[in-house]
A and B are shown apart, each in its own frame.
Chain A
Amino acid sequence: MTSINRRRGGTLAAVAALLLAAACAPAEETSGSADATATSDAQCSPEQLDTQTAGKLTVGTDSPAYSPWFEDDDPTNGKGYESAVAYAVAKELGYAADDVTWITVPFNSSYQPGAKKFDFDINQVSITDARAKAVDFSDPYYEAAQAVVTLGDSEYDDATSFADLKDAQLGAQVGTTSLQAISQIGATKEPRVYDDSNAATQALQNGQIDGLVVDLPTAYYIAAAELDDGDVIGQFQPETGESEAFGLLFAKGSPLVPCVDRALGTLQDDGTLGDLEQTWLSQTTGVPELS
Chain B
Amino acid sequence: MSTLEGWVPSERQRERDDLRRRRTRRRGTVASVSTVVVLGVLVAGVLAAPGWDRVRGTYLSGDVAAEAFPLLARAFVLNIGLFLVAEVFILLLGTLVAVIRVVPAPALAPVKILATLYTDVFRGTPTILVVFLVGFGLPALGLQGVPTNLFVLAVVALTLSYGAYVAEVIRAGIESVHPTQWASGRALGLSYGRTLRHVVLPQALRRVGPPLLNDFVSLQKDTALASLVGLGEILRRAQEVSSRDFNFTPYVVAAVFFVVATIPLARLTDWLAVRAARRQAGGA
Binding site for B on A (CB under 8 A): 10, 14, 17-18, 21-22, 24-27, 29, 107-108, 111-114, 128, 130-131, 133-135, 171, 174-175, 179-180, 190, 192-195, 199, 202-203, 205-209, 252
CA distance A113 to B140 in the complex (A): 40
The 29 sampled A-B contact pairs (Cβ below 8 Å) are: A10-B30, A10-B34, A14-B38, A17-B38, A18-B37, A21-B38, A21-B41, A24-B49, A26-B49, A29-B50, A107-B243, A108-B243, A113-B55, A113-B57, A113-B58, A128-B244, A133-B245, A133-B247, A134-B247, A171-B230, A180-B244, A192-B150, A193-B230, A194-B228, A199-B230, A202-B136, A203-B136, A208-B139, A208-B230
Taking CB atoms, residues of chain B closer than 8 Å to A29 are 50
Given A108-B243, A130-B244, A180-B244, list of 20 further CB < 8 A pairs? A14-B37, A18-B37, A21-B41, A25-B45, A29-B50, A107-B243, A113-B51, A113-B54, A113-B58, A131-B244, A133-B245, A171-B230, A174-B239, A175-B239, A175-B240, A175-B244, A192-B231, A195-B228, A205-B140, A209-B230
Taking CB atoms, residues of chain A closer than 8 Å to B37 are 14, 18
User: Contacting A190 at CB < 8 Å: which of B38, B232, B239?
Assistant: B232
Taking CB atoms, residues of chain B closer than 8 Å to A135 are 246
B231 CB → nearest A CB, Å: 8
Nearest residue in A to B31 (C-beta to C-beta)? A10
B223 CB → nearest A CB, Å: 16
Nearest residue in B to A131 (C-beta to C-beta)? B246
Taking CB atoms, residues of chain A closer than 8 Å to B242 are 108
| Residue B148 CB within 8 A of the other chain | yes
Check B45–A21 contact: CB distance below 8 A. yes
CA distance A114 to B54 in the complex (A): 8
| Residue B101 CB within 8 A of the other chain | no
Check B246–A199 contact: CB distance below 8 A. no
Taking CB atoms, residues of chain B closer than 8 Å to A208 are 136, 139, 148, 150, 229-230
| Residue B236 CB within 8 A of the other chain | yes
Nearest residue in A to B148 (C-beta to C-beta)? A208
| Residue B143 CB within 8 A of the other chain | no
CA distance A29 to B51 in the complex (A): 9
| Residue B116 CB within 8 A of the other chain | no
Flag B44-63 by CB within 8 Å of A: 1 or 0 each: 01001111001101110000
Check B48–A18 contact: CB distance below 8 A. no
Taking CB atoms, residues of chain B closer than 8 Å to A21 are 38, 41-42, 45
CA distance A128 to B243 in the complex (A): 11
Per the CB 8 Å criterion, the residue count for chain B at the interface is 37
CA distance A131 to B243 in the complex (A): 8
CA distance A242 to B12 in the complex (A): 83
CA distance A190 to B240 in the complex (A): 14
B96 CB → nearest A CB, Å: 30
The A-contacting residues of B in range 208-237, CB under 8 angstroms, are 227-232, 236
Check A193–B227 contact: CB distance below 8 A. yes
Nearest residue in B to A179 (C-beta to C-beta)? B240
CA distance A217 to B148 in the complex (A): 30
CA distance A90 to B67 in the complex (A): 40
Knowing A14-B38, A179-B240, say if A26 contacts B48 (CB, 8 Å).
Answer: yes
Check B41–A18 contact: CB distance below 8 A. yes
Nearest residue in B to A20 (C-beta to C-beta)? B42
Knowing A174-B236, A209-B230, say if A134 contacts B139 (CB, 8 Å).
Answer: no
Check B245–A130 contact: CB distance below 8 A. yes
CA distance A29 to B229 in the complex (A): 42
Taking CB atoms, residues of chain B closer than 8 Å to A26 are 48-50
Taking CB atoms, residues of chain A closer than 8 Å to B50 are 26-27, 29
User: Contacting B57 at CB < 8 Å: which of A22, A133, A192?
Assistant: A133
Knowing A21-B45, A190-B232, A193-B227, say if A134 contacts B246 (CB, 8 Å).
Answer: yes
Check A203–B229 contact: CB distance below 8 A. yes
The 7 A-B residue pairs with the shortest CB-CB distance in the complex, in nearest-first order: A175-B243, A192-B230, A134-B246, A130-B245, A111-B246, A131-B246, A113-B54
A60 CB → nearest B CB, Å: 15
Knowing A111-B246, A193-B236, A208-B148, say if A199 contacts B34 (CB, 8 Å).
Answer: no
The A-contacting residues of B in range 144-173, CB under 8 angstroms, are 148, 150
Knowing A113-B55, A179-B240, A190-B232, say if A131 contacts B139 (CB, 8 Å).
Answer: no
A202 CB → nearest B CB, Å: 5
CA distance A135 to B243 in the complex (A): 12
Most buried by B among A24, A131, A202: A202
Check B246–A252 contact: CB distance below 8 A. no
Nearest residue in B to A3 (C-beta to C-beta)? B23
CA distance A25 to B51 in the complex (A): 12
Taking CB atoms, residues of chain B closer than 8 Å to A203 are 136, 229-230
Nearest residue in B to A29 (C-beta to C-beta)? B50
Nearest residue in B to A27 (C-beta to C-beta)? B50
User: Contacting B136 at CB < 8 Å: which of A18, A133, A179, A206?
Assistant: A206
B225 CB → nearest A CB, Å: 11
User: Contacting B140 at CB < 8 Å: which of A14, A17, A27, A206?
Assistant: A206
Nearest residue in B to A205 (C-beta to C-beta)? B140
B33 CB → nearest A CB, Å: 9
Knowing A10-B34, A111-B246, A131-B246, say if A207 contacts B54 (CB, 8 Å).
Answer: no
